[in-house]
Amino acid sequence: MFAVVRMFEVRGTIPVFKLVVEGDILFDEFCSTIRTEGNLVRQLTRIVAIMERYSNGQLLSASKLKLIGRSKSGLSLYEIKTHDLRVYLFRDFTGAIVVSGGKKSTQATDIRRFKNIVDQYNTTL
């Protein structure tokens, strides 16, 4: 049901992976939607830059990277944000795992979905 693939476009000391959920990479689907819509591509580029800074251990302000809670098993859950975009990831023993993304307008729903996916992921380990 779950797998991870390395996110090679993000280079740093902390490995960054994308979560594969039932054969789909939700983050890639999110990126594809943003590129198709076209108006938020620059913010998507900023998101990847923030991921790279995180991967290199740089301190980031809460306006860029925010701890939004812990999973039932104690994993740290994070939100990377720009003005309009949000990307959700968690940290485990392998590194940072990017789950999905969304827009500010759907943030509450996206966070609930993210937490549910992380809880399901934890039960399969």
Give residues with Cβ within 8 angstroms of 33, minimum separation 6: none
Torsion angle defined by CA atoms of residues 19, 111, 103 and 8, in that order, rounded to the nearest 10 degrees: -20
83 pLDDT more than 80: yes
pLDDT digits (tens, 9 = 90+) for 18-44: 999 999 999 999 999 999 999 999 999
Predicted confidence (pLDDT) per residue in 96-115, tens digit: 999 999 999 999 999 999 99
Q: What are the residue ranges spanned by the domains of the chain?
A: 2-124
The predicted structure's pLDDT at residue 121: 94
pLDDT attached to residue 1: 87
Other CB atoms within 10 A of residue 48 CB: 16
Model confidence at 124: pLDDT above 90: no
